[in-house]
Chain A
């Protein structure tokens, strides 16, 4: 069960890192292109005889320029090795999709759609996912410990008068577990024998009540 929990956590973090760093890389590219495309595309159209033909020519030319884009991560090692722009389409007509940009050229808008693929450093992603999984498991363990060692925690108990046999049994089992936990940690060494006896006798009596009901 513990291994399954670790595996699920690892996969969640791995997929999360891939998704977030991929989205971030694409967003960075879109921001750069939103700033630079109008600066390089518009001047070329000023003396163009045929806008559509010129946009088509520039689409091919820009893909060659943009082919492989590299990134710098804030931590040692880059999760994204590079981003490859597979297709860039400049158009006078509105383009749909999430990876599109638009800007003004004179009195009409120009549109660009960018199709890119992200190349990840999978070993590094796996390393960080492993590190975060370990951290997650550590946090999980610490909280289990903290929860276990709350000897004076306030509990709202069910009044004995309205307690059913089942309630009493579950309370007894729980108390027994608490004592066992404390015993293992050596907090109640001296009470070991008495405590063991008393909890077992409690459990037995409540179990009988539960059966009777």
Chain B
């Protein structure tokens, strides 16, 4: 091998050994802190307003939130003293007393007992302006005429919601399962982060039984022979309005009735009346 060639290679190698670490070191950068904002909210600017107030709404569903918020921004709260409307739908478990007090929610949808657990004297700040009708929670199964008992549930996979504040997805079905006694193995219970994945796995027959209120479109036509109502009847779910904005009650109630009417038309098969349960 020619000596000049070896020498050139050697020179290149040594130059690379010095230059490469320097180039690599120079190309190292640190990203400036990026903090992504939470995604469980939608906000819009109120039209024709000179005010600076923030109208913050909480509801445990994201169903048509953009349209909901936009209606408030474009018409209901237009020319009022609000600048921004925000609608949030974070998991109920993320709602804390501190958040309730610091975020100063203007309007929210929740249950009386849940609210009392967070803020015992909630009625000093909020008034229930509209209640949703109570609804029936049922067990849905793939088996005809199944009578739930410790024996019939043996080796069955039961799907529930992970949200421990959900009455239809966790609280009511879990308390009924507990009543069947010790026959139930914890390994039979499968927890899901939301109703869509719970119902999808049930429809794919990965689960034998699930509790539901018929929220999912495909459960609407589920044969009655394969459902069994829970003994528990759901407690009232109400809209609570901050007392500071009591003057908005009539217009908000009218709009919330329309919203609920559409929501229930889409998501339940059970007949209900909006007049019932109004406090």
A21 lies within 8 A of B31 (CB): no
Q: How far is the CA of A51 from the CA of B190 in the complex (A)?
A: 19
Q: Would you call B30 and A71 a contact (CB within 8 A)? A: yes
Is the Cβ of B62 less than 8 Å from the Cβ of A17? Answer: no
Kindly list chain A residues whose C-beta atoms are within 8 Å of the C-beta of B60: 47
Query: How far is it, in angstroms, between the C-alpha of A43 and the C-alpha of B14 when the chains are bound?
Result: 54
- Number of residues on chain B facing chain A (CB within 8 A): 48
- Cβ contacts under 8 Å, A46 to chain B: 40, 90-91, 162-163, 193-194
23 A-B contacts (beta carbon < 8 Å) = A16-B23, A17-B27, A20-B24, A29-B31, A40-B39, A44-B39, A44-B62, A44-B89, A47-B90, A48-B62, A49-B195, A49-B215, A49-B267, A50-B196, A62-B39, A74-B26, A74-B30, A75-B26, A132-B23, A136-B19, A139-B14, A139-B15, A140-B11
Establish whether residues B39 and A58, one from each chain, have CB atoms under 8 Å apart when the complex forms: yes
Nearest opposing residue in chain A for B60, CB measure:
A47
Task: Tell me the interface secondary structure of chain A in the complex.
Answer: helix
Q: What's the least CB distance linking B189 to chain A, in Å?
A: 13
Contacts A37-B36, A43-B91; is A78 near B29 (CB within 8 Å)?
yes
Residue contact B34 to A36, C-beta cutoff 8 Å: yes
Q: Which residues of A contact B (CB under 8 A)?
A: 13, 16-17, 20-21, 24-25, 28-29, 31-32, 36-37, 39-51, 54, 57-58, 61-62, 65-66, 69-75, 78-80, 105-108, 128, 132, 135-136, 139-140, 143-144, 147
Interface residues of B in 1-38 (CB under 8 A from A): 7, 10-11, 14-15, 18-19, 22-32, 34-38
By a CB distance below 8 angstroms, the chain B residues around A42 are: 193
Closest Cβ of chain B to A74, distance in Å, is 6
Known A-B contacts A107-B201, A143-B14; the reply to A47 vs B40 at CB < 8 A is yes
**Contact (Cβ within 8 A) A135 B22:** yes
- The 8 A CB mask of B231-257 against A (1 = contact, 0 = none) is 000000000000000000000000000
Measured CB to CB, the closest approach of chain A to B259, in angstroms, equals 14
Given A43-B91, A136-B19, check contact A71 B196 (CB 8 Å): no
* Interfacial chain A residues near B89, Cβ < 8 Å: 44, 47-48
Determine whether the beta carbon of A72 is less than 8 Å from that of B27.
no
A79 touches which one: B26, B31, B35 (CB < 8 A)?
A: B26
The residue of chain B having its C-beta at the shortest distance from the C-beta of A20 within the complex is B27
Check if A44 sits within 8 Å of B27, measured CB to CB.
Answer: no
- Chain B contacts for A13, CB-based, 8 A: 19, 23
Q: How far is the CB of A39 from chain B (nearest CB, A)?
A: 8
Is there an interface contact between A40 and B38, defined as CB atoms closer than 8 Å?
Answer: yes
Q: Name the distance in Å between A186's Cβ and chain B's nearest Cβ.
A: 24
Tell me which residues across on chain A come within 8 A of B197, comparing CB atoms. Answer: 51, 106-108
CB of B93, distance to nearest CB on chain A (Å):
9
Tell me, rounded to whole Å, the shortest Cβ–Cβ distance linking A92 to chain B: 9
Quick check: is B269 within 8 A (CB to CB) of the other chain?
Answer: no
